[in-house]
Amino acid sequence: MSVTTQVIVTVQGRVQGVGYRAACADRARALGLRGWVRNRRDGAVEAFLVGPETTVLRMREWMWEGPDSALVTQLDVVSGYDEAPGPSFEIRPTV
């Protein structure tokens, strides 16, 4: 049995205007994760990932690459984020 993990991942670099959020949501859904992804006004992309620990780790590895037009320079992960995820993975508005 796999442990359920909840993390917030902040991705910096060229990650807005390159389809990063949509690609992130597609990948998260394909992996069966719950949570959300959104742009931040500071130019970063932020994602809340909920799922089995091994699957969240696979998603984090993908997030370093992102879509072809993205250039990720930094990935910060914070665990212990306490929010009840929805039933699927969604794209949220910019904050």
pLDDT of the residue at 87: 87
Helix (H, G, I), strand (E, B) or coil at 3: coil
**Residue 75 β-bridge partners:** 11
Catalytic residue among 29, 34, 38, 39: 39
Quick: pLDDT tens for 55-94: 999 999 999 999 999 999 999 999 977 777 888 999 999 9
Domain boundaries, the chain: 4-83
Q: Are 51 and 5 in contact (CB under 8 A)?
A: yes
Fold of 4-83: Alpha-Beta Plaits (3.30.70)
Residue 41: active-site member: no
Residue 29: active-site member: no
Catalytic residue among 14, 21, 29, 60: 21
What's the CA gap between 51 and 69, in Å, rounded? 27
Quick: pLDDT tens for 14-55: 999 999 999 999 999 999 999 999 999 999 999 999 999 999
Helix (H, G, I), strand (E, B) or coil at 18: coil
pLDDT of the residue at 1: 57
